[in-house]
């Protein structure tokens, strides 16, 4: 069962999110992004590539510089304007990844990197569009947040602690020793998927799975999941995803067990065509 993530209703919308992001910082993170080796293995040097939901365009910029024919689509005009200001040569347009303005079989490869999990109705329509615009034997690379064993364990522990603390909190509120907690209005933000769920979505969209990959930051001193989920493991440098000494030790330990124990994301590489080896 997919893990639903919620955030307070008044938290920033996408314009505010992209305003706080720096293209230069995004490009710095690309250097150790676990996607890079996957792209080098699977993306075609000949033929057009589409990134559906390109945001500030760190991969549009990077892959263009590396000689790939890539263009992007995003529904946020602010992010695209910011990208074009920094990189005027970016081939990007405003659009909806669930209703792409492209002919059938227009692309040799399709990228969806942290996008389809934000649709509360599920990723089916976006993946169906991916299948439609890809040529036969075209490659789709789909990245989504991973509901890892560590995240499941943390969720279970948090639930137990809430269960234990709630009666005490309610009692203190009743006798006037504690102010009643104000309930925040929450809204859906994203799903975190298991490997089995992503595999199922990809196959239902008509793709044949080639391989699944765990993904986190490859640098020894950075981790997306540990940094996001455990603020006490963040370094005080202010740099995105950088861990303190305890965080680095924990990452090394979990990495030795398996990246799948803690990684932030999973990546499916699939083909529009006949069955491949599933991993």
Q: In terms of residue numbers, what domain contains 134?
A: 3-147+183-218+262-271
In this prediction the pTM is: 0.91
Separation CA 271–CA 186 (nearest Å): 37
What 3-state DSSP class applies to 153?
helix
Separation CA 191–CA 120 (nearest Å): 8
237 occurs within a structural domain: no
Give the number of residues written for the chain. 279
Render pLDDT for 104-128 as a digit per residue (tens, 0 to 9).
Answer: 999 999 999 999 999 999 999 999 9
Render pLDDT for 30-46 as a digit per residue (tens, 0 to 9).
Answer: 999 999 999 999 999 99
Separation CA 4–CA 274 (nearest Å): 33
Check residues 205 and 20 and name the one with the higher pLDDT: 205
Render pLDDT for 135-183 as a digit per residue (tens, 0 to 9).
Answer: 999 999 999 999 999 999 999 988 877 787 777 776 666 777 777 777 7
Tally the domains of the chain.
Answer: 1
**Contact indicator for 50, 103 with CB cutoff of 8 Å:** no
Q: Pick the closest to residue 92 from 52, 129, 152 (CA basis).
A: 52
Residue showing tokens 């074009």: 84
Separation CA 6–CA 45 (nearest Å): 39
Q: What is the CATH number of the domain that holds 32?
A: 3.40.50.150
């Amino acid at each position: 069962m997919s893990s639903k993530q919620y955030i307070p209703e008044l938290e920033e919308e996408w314009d505010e999110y992209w305003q706080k992001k720096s293209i230069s910082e995004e490009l710095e993170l690309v250097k150790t992004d676990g996607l890079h080796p996957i792209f080098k293995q699977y993306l075609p040097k000949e033929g057009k590539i589409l990134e559906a939901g390109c945001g500030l365009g760190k991969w549009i910029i990077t892959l263009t510089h590396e000689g790939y024919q890539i263009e992007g689509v995003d529904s946020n005009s602010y992010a695209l304007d910011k990208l074009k200001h920094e990189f005027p040569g970016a081939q990007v347009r405003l659009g909806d990844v669930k209703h792409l303005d492209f002919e059938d079989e227009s692309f040799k490869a399709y990228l969806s990197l942290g996008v389809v999990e934000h649709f509360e109705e599920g990723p089916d329509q976006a993946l169906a569009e991916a299948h439609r615009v890809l040529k036969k034997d075209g490659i789709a690379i789909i990245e989504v947040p991973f509901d890892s064993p560590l995240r499941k364990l943390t969720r279970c522990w948090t639930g137990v602690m809430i269960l234990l603390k709630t009666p005490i909190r309610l009692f203190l509120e009743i006798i006037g020793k504690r102010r009643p907690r104000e309930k925040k209005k929450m809204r859906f933000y994203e799903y975190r998927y298991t490997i089995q769920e992503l595999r199922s979505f990809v196959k239902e969209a008509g793709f044949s799975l080639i391989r699944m990959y765990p993904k986190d930051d490859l640098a020894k001193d950075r981790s997306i999941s540990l940094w996001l989920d455990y603020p006490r493991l963040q370094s005080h440098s202010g740099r995105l995803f950088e861990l303190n000494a305890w965080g680095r030790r924990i990452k090394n330990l979990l990495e030795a067990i398996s990246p799948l124990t803690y990684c932030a994301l999973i990546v499916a590489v699939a083909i529009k065509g006949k069955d491949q080896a599933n991993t």
